[in-house]
Copies of this chain bind each other. A is one copy, B any other.
Amino acid sequence: MASETGSAQGGDTQTAIMEATYRALCEHGYANLTVDKINAEFAKSKSLLYYHYDDKDEILLNLLEYILDQFSVEDTVDPSDDPDIQLRTLIEEFLPWTLDGEDQEFQVAVFELRSQALSDDGYREQFTRGDDLLSETVAGILEAGIEEGVFREVDVDRAAEHVLSALNGAMLRRLTAEDESAVRTTRKSLEEYIDSYLTPATD
């Protein structure tokens, strides 16, 4: 869908639509979001075109697809860094010690969309793709680390899924329960997992 929209309307318009959708979603939340509110955000951005959507889920799925298309490992970690540093940076990116207002709004919006995947195959497809992308990213860092002797020769897929599940669980808990310390503790425990499980014994 993203590519259809893109080819029909040009990249700039698609970007403007996606940015308007993102702002409207963060501002109103999934349940209160309507097509009119997305259109209002889009009009505010002063684009020439007033685009009409029939269905908020269609445009939100488009947004998820767009975000995943844009995802690049290099935006999060520096590939010239040591794989050990890359992995810690990735964990820090997903579990910062504190969440500022905008990051909080975005993470809440993502989990609202993720909860649609409980009953909607379109959302499920996008979150499957997102999980796969992140899991492959972690696995890639682990493989590089094993090659360089920074990490032990662990089962890469298993370790990647472990990190991804712990990250997802800690993010979910941060957003749905009053226990900030649980997030900090999970992040520390993930760093400990790197130190004690992934790092070769030196003695």
Nearest CB of B to A158, in Å: 5
Q: Which residue in chain B gives the minimum CB-CB distance to A192?
A: B158
Copies of this chain held together in the complex: 2
CB-CB under 8 A for A196 and B197, given A119-B108, A186-B162: yes
Query: Judging by beta carbons under 8 Å apart, are B193 and A162 in contact?
Result: yes
Asked whether any CB of chain B lies closer than 8 Å to the CB of A88, the reply is no
Asked whether any CB of chain B lies closer than 8 Å to the CB of A190, the reply is yes
Query: Judging by beta carbons under 8 Å apart, are B173 and A186 in contact?
Result: no
Q: Which residue in chain B gives the minimum CB-CB distance to A196?
A: B197
Query: Judging by beta carbons under 8 Å apart, are A125 and B178 in contact?
Result: yes
Q: Which residue in chain B gives the minimum CB-CB distance to A154?
A: B192
Query: Judging by beta carbons under 8 Å apart, are B118 and A177 in contact?
Result: no
Binding site for B on A (CB under 8 A): 29, 31, 108, 111-112, 114-115, 117-119, 123-125, 127-128, 130-132, 135, 157-159, 161-162, 164-170, 172-173, 175-179, 182, 185-186, 188-190, 192-193, 196-197
Query: Judging by beta carbons under 8 Å apart, are B162 and A166 in contact?
Result: yes
Nearest CB of B to A29, in Å: 6
Query: Judging by beta carbons under 8 Å apart, are B131 and A157 in contact?
Result: no
Query: Judging by beta carbons under 8 Å apart, are A157 and B128 in contact?
Result: no
Query: Judging by beta carbons under 8 Å apart, are A119 and B29 in contact?
Result: yes
Query: Judging by beta carbons under 8 Å apart, are A124 and B165 in contact?
Result: no
Residues of chain B within 8 A (CB-CB) of A185 are 157-158, 161-162
Query: Judging by beta carbons under 8 Å apart, are B193 and A131 in contact?
Result: no
Other A-B contacts than A111-B118, A128-B178, A168-B168, 4 sampled, CB-CB below 8 A, are A128-B179, A131-B179, A158-B189, A168-B173
